[in-house]
Structure formats: C-alpha cells, structure tokens
Structure 1
Amino acid sequence: MNKIPSVNLADFLSNDESRKQKFIKEIGHAYENIGFVALKGHFLDDKLVDELYAEIKNFFDLPTAIKEKYEIPGIGGQRGYVSFGKESAKGKKEGDLKEFWHFGQYVDADSKYAKEYPENVIVEELPKFNEVGKEAYQMLEKTAKFVLRSLALHLGLEETYFDNYIKNGNSILRPIHYPPIKTEPKGAERAAAHGDINLITLLMGAQGKGLQVQNHKGEWIDAIAEPDELMINVGDMLSRHSNNKLKSTIHRVTNPPKEMWGTSRYSIPFFMHPISDMKLDVLENCIDDENPKQFEDITAGEFLDERLKELGLKK
C-alpha cells in the first residue's frame, strides 16, 4: 500500500446492509495492511472545527508565563499544558519540537473513574476554550465508538463489544502546536517516529505534507487528508488485543522544508483509550496455528503506565 485509503462512516451508519458490510471490509483491509484510513462522514461539523482551531491558536499565542501556570506537576502531563520539547518518542533523547494541551474524559461524578482521572484544567483567560474543547472531545469520542463497532464486527466479535470499555475511558484530546523552527534542529523532529499507545487515534489537521506513515516495506509515505476527513490509525493496545491482525503503524511528523520554517503547524489528535481495567489479552479468535499468541496478558492501565515511563512523562 502506497496510499492511505479513504472510507465514509455514513456507509456504516446507513440502514443498507451492503453499504455497512462494504465499510467493514474496507476499514478491516486497510487496518490489516497499513493501519491508517482517512474517514469522511464523522460527527464534527465545520463550525465546531473552525471554533476549535481559533481557540487553540488563541491559547498557544498566550505569553509563555501564562501557559506555564497551566502545566500541572505530578500528573505525567495528562491534563493541561505540556511545554515545548518535554516529550520525546520512545528511544529518542531529543525532545519533539512541539507544545501541547490535554483535555481528558468528562466523567460522571458518581463514576469510580472520577477519582482515578485528574480533573480538566480551566483556562481563565479564554472563556470559550474549555467549552469548545469539551464539545470536540465528545464528537470525536462518538465517531470513535462507531469505528470500533465496525472493527468489532471485522474481528468476529459482537458489534458493541468495545462500548463498555470506552465509556468513561481514559481518552485524551491533544491540540498540538509545532512552532516556527528558528535554528537547525539537531536530530529533533516535530514528532519523531513512534506508534500510538491507545486503541485508535483520530487526527484532525492532517491536511498538507508533514505526517508520514511507514508501510510494510519500510517506506515512508505521505498521509494527507482532505479538509473533511479525519486520519484514523490503530494504536498498540488494539494491535496487541488483535494479536497484531490490526496493525499499529509507525508514523512521524517531519520538519518542513527550510523555506517553511517560519510557519506554525497545528494538529489535534484524539487518543481513544479504554478504562484502565480492560484486559488487553489476545482475543482467542485471533489465535491459530499460523498466528500463535504474540503478547503477554496485561490490562490497559498497566500498559499505559509502562509506556508513559518510556516517554519520559512519568517517573
């Protein structure tokens, strides 16, 4: 595969069984072969997208001293602001050339997960920032639910298999700012090659060059979405759970050509995480003589903890 396939969620949501099956087949094939699709027909409307970009640009334009007061110590960067260069890819000592914000789950007050998750951080200077962030979070979570339903059917599971694992799940919406590059980066990239930790990632802002995906031959291919598309990829949790039937693909955000160094780039991934006690044990129906079990049993919470330490976000 040298191109990211495009699918339309409207096919899956239609009452036409043949369209639904076509979607399941297309997304299943893409995730078994390259781990990425471009998705039309999601639940984000243009107005919400425009408002979200306006609000995150307003936030990243704030003076550094104001942004840094929203960098909360002791929570591994799970909520609020993470300053420039703090995060590095697994195995890299150079920090990525980015700063970002985290919106987390909006848990029901009586849920047991209310105590487990840090609270969302409120930006006092921007009255609409948190409200728009919450709405985008919930529309992306809704989109992700239906993508996972299609993948459950592809894997031979009951359609709503993932629903209870993602309700109140530890998902993160991460607006990222890649600032203009001022000096020659020494070994650092906007985002070094990495795989995602979670079940699936829904990415806004993959228009234009920058995001690249590594195919099975080890070649880097450009992943460019249309303005009305989200780029959606498989994360390591889902890859483990499916015994690597669904591929978690290595990807990166390259530095722009020198004449473009003076420009900012914004992207907004939504990392769909399950609740921490979900067992990521390899599914029985993904094991056979040709595909023996590849991964040890582990819960989503244990796996996340392990990976946050590797990324330098948790001690």
Structure 2
Amino acid sequence: MSQPQIPTLDIRRFDTDREAFVAELGNAYREWGFAGIRGHGIPQEVIDGAYDAFVAFFALPEETKKQYHVPGGGGARGYTPFGVETAKGAKYFDLKEFWHVGRELRDEKYADVMPPNLWPAEVPEFRARALALYEALDALGARVLSALALNLGLPEDYFADKTDNGNSILRPIHYPPITADEIPNVRAGAHEDINLITLLVGASAEGLEVLSRKGEWVPFTADADTIVVNIGDMLQRLTNHVLPSTTHRVVNPPGEKARQPRYSTPFFLHPNPDFVIDVLPNCVSADNPSRYPEPITAQGYLEERLREIKLK
C-alpha cells in the first residue's frame, strides 16, 4: 500500500481559481494540519542569502554565540544554545541551537512583551537578509490566512488587523552533525506549534515527519521550491479543532546522512499579543461543541506554553 501524501498546492491559484483553491486548501488542513505551498513568489536569492548568513553565524565559536544569549529572556530574541529546548513532556532535549528574529517595527504599546532584536556583529549581512526573509514570509502567511478565513466562512481580511503587530518569530535552526551511533535524543521531539500558522523554509532536507490521523508517522520532504505551512495550537483553539494542529517531529537521518548538519528556518506567525483567542461561533456545532469555554489572550497562551517547553 502506498504511503499517504500530504498535499502541495500552488498559491497562485488563489488569484486565478479562488473557489477551488480555497476548498482544496481547507480540505488539506482539515485532514493533515499541513500542506506544501509552491508558487509563493519569494525569490530564491532571498532564501539563499538568508541561509548563507545563518550558516555563517552558527559556524562562529561557541563563546561568541553565547554572547547573544539573553538569560531569562525565554529565547524571545537572539541566541538559544544547544540542549535547552525540550519538547513538551519529552525526557531528552532537542539536538539543535537557534536564533530568534522578531518584528522590527511594532506598535510601542507591545514593547514590554516584544523586545528589540539583537544582531550578530560578526555577520554584518545577517540583519538585512533575515529581515527580508521575515517580511516575505509574513506576507505569504497573510495570504494563507486569507484563504483559510474564506474556507471558515469569515471575511477574507478577518486576520489582517489581528496579526499586523503579531509577535511573529523567524527561527533559523542548526541541527549539528550527529557523531554518536546510539543516542536517545532526536533533532526535534514530537510536538505541536504554539502559534497560528508556521511557514517552514528548508524542509527539503529529510527528517520532518507528520503524525497522521491513523497514528502513522508520514515523512514530508518537500521540493526545494515549496514552503511547508502548518496549523499551530492557537488556530486550532480558535477554530475549535476544525483546523488541527498536528504533531510533528524531526528525526535523525540514517547512516552517513546523520553526519551532515541540517538547517531549517520556520516562521511562527503569531497574533497581536492582546488578541483574545475565543472559539469562533461558526466552528461550534452539535457534533463539535466548544472545547474552550474560557478565552485567553495570545500573550497569556504563549507564556503558558513557553514554560512547558523549558524556554521560560
């Protein structure tokens, strides 16, 4: 029996074949919580330029990188060293180090929960290239949310004023080569994302696996021109699980491939910190009663979850 396939859709159809595209996208997310998006229009040089800068940073000496770690900052900005983040409920830490880039221009009323960005002086091109990728993914995420809004029976611009100051994060990740043969850790333990949607650039390296509704781990290695977009827990909660936030992991590749580093860059698209996540009335039915009678702000929810994954 052939392995089930997670769909990949061309987002240019949102402009040319809107109704069919919105329906297909909605079906993909209702079934999988994941889809590949191609035709996204982000120039390859924007992606490659950002990756070159990220690889240059991760190649710096450990003591240099650690100067950009903010103790007590919950990893919100700057560098988080190897061996800190641990998937919720997991016994072993993830095999990765990463950097966080936040929104550069934000409403001052959010300054207390959205600190300014840090930039590594050793890689002068890092800032401009990271921000170019941040802005491109933010715009693509807005298009995906417009299509999902229509699929949910909401106005196309429903999410626009709820995410324009979103606490969204670009996270370049380095999974170092695995040199030991027998280790209990995986590159990223089974988890769900916290935010509304995640856009992943660099899922063309093997390792990403998605848990199907039947409980099978399905590998999802996207083509190089494809950005993987998945539903996070905040959108699952807002839609009363109509759009599921699917468990996924990054497994260690077999044999010699484990000796290669892996780089990937997810963009975690968040709502504005004061957005109240309250179940959408049109996602409640007799078959699907509301699972969340108590609303929560996006910031309150984020802080709760960061504690669970050992970042706070």
Measure, in 1, the Cα distance between the counterparts of 2:119 and 2:230: 29
Match of 2:66 among 65, 68, 76: 68
Q: 2:55 aligns with which of 49, 54, 57?
A: 57
**Residues 210 and 217 of structure 2 are in contact (CA less than 8 Å); yes or no, is this contact kept in structure 1?**
yes
For 1:16-27, list aligned pairs within 5 A: 16=16, 19-27=17-25
Structure 1 CA distance, aligned partners of 2:193 and 2:38?
22
Unaligned runs of 5+ in 2: none
SS in 2 for 1:50: helix
CA contact (8 A) 1:7 1:39 kept: yes
Q: Normalising by structure 1, what TM-score? A: 0.96
Q: Which of 123-132 and 1-10 deviates more? A: 1-10
SS in structure 1 of the partner of residue 259 of structure 2: coil
Q: 1:171 aligned to 2:177?
A: no
C-alpha displacement at 1:114, in angstroms? 3.0
Percent identity of equivalent pairs: 47
1:104 counterpart residue number: 102
C-alpha change, 1:185 and 1:170, in structure 2 (3 Å) is farther
CA distance in 2, matches of 1:277, 1:117: 12
Task: State the match for 1:45 in structure 2.
Answer: 43
State the shift of 1:257 in Å: 0.7
How far off is 1:93 after superposition? 2.7
Partner of 2:184 in structure 1? 187
Aligned residues: 309
The CA deviation at 1:261 is 2.3
One-letter identity of the residue aligned with 1:218? G
CA deviation vs aligned residue, 1:89-144 (integer Å, no higher than 9, x gap): 00013110000010001124x53123431110011111100110011000000000
Cross-structure match for 2:309: 311
The answer to whether the Cα contact below 8 Å between 1:175 and 1:268 also exists between their aligned partners in 2 is: yes
CA distance in 1 between partners of 2:8 and 2:60 (Å): 36
2-structure distance, mates of 1:177, 1:82: 11
| Partners of 2:238 and 2:279 within 8 A in 1 | yes
- The alpha-carbon deviation at position 185 of structure 1 amounts to 5.0
Q: 1:185 to 1:68 in 2, by over 3 A?
A: farther
Query: Would you say 1:78 and 2:76 are equivalent positions?
Result: yes
- Give the letter aligned to residue 5 of structure 2: K
Query: 1:255 aligned to 2:252?
Result: yes
Contact 2:22 2:147 in 1 (8 A): yes
| SS of structure 2 residue aligned to 1:202 | strand
Q: Secondary structure at the match of 2:304?
A: helix
Alpha-carbon separation, structure 1, partners of 2:31 and 2:58: 37
Match of 1:112, SS state, is helix
Partner-residue secondary structure (3-state), 1:271: strand
1:6 paired to 2:8? yes
The C-alpha deviation readout for 1:226-257, integer Å capped at 9, x for no partner, is 11110000000000100000011000000111
Of 125, 128, 133, which aligns to 1:131?
128
Residue 106 of structure 1 contacts residue 168 of structure 1 at CA under 8 Å; is this kept in 2? no
Q: Where do 5+ consecutive residues of structure 1 fail to align?
A: none
Match of 1:90 in 2: 88
1:206 to 191, 199, 203: 203
SS in 2 for 1:37: strand
Equivalent-residue separation in structure 2 for 1:299 and 1:43 (angstroms):
33
Q: 1:167 to 1:217 in 2, by over 3 A?
A: same
Tell me if structure 2 keeps the 8 A contact 1:43–1:142: no
Distance 2:78 2:42 in 1: 23
How many Å apart are 1:271 and its aligned residue?
Answer: 0.3
For the residues of structure 1 that align with 2:249 and 2:72, how far apart are their CA atoms?
28
Task: Show the counterpart of 2:223.
Answer: 226
Which amino acid is the alignment partner of residue 99 of structure 1? E
| Residues 200, 234 of structure 1: 8 Å contact kept | yes
Of 277, 283, 302, the residue aligned with 2:274 is 277
> Does residue 217 of structure 1 match 2:217?
no
In the alignment, is the contact (CA less than 8 A) between 1:107 and 1:114 conserved in 2? no
* Preserved CA contact (<8 Å) 2:186 2:251: yes
TM-score by length of 2: 0.96
Contact 2:199/2:228, CA 8 A, preserved across alignment:
yes
Give, as a single letter, the amino acid of the residue that structure 2 aligns with 1:90: K
Question: In structure 2, how many angstroms separate the alpha carbons of the residues matched to 1:147 and 1:256?
Answer: 31
In 2, Cα distance between the equivalents of 1:185 and 1:166? 43
Give the drift of 1:38: 0.4
Supply the distance in 1 between the matched residues of 2:258 and 2:222 (Cα, whole angstroms): 22
Contact 1:245 1:286 in 2 (8 A): yes
Query: What secondary structure sits across from 1:38 in the alignment?
Result: strand
Q: Would you say the 8 A contact 1:205–1:266 is kept in 2?
A: yes
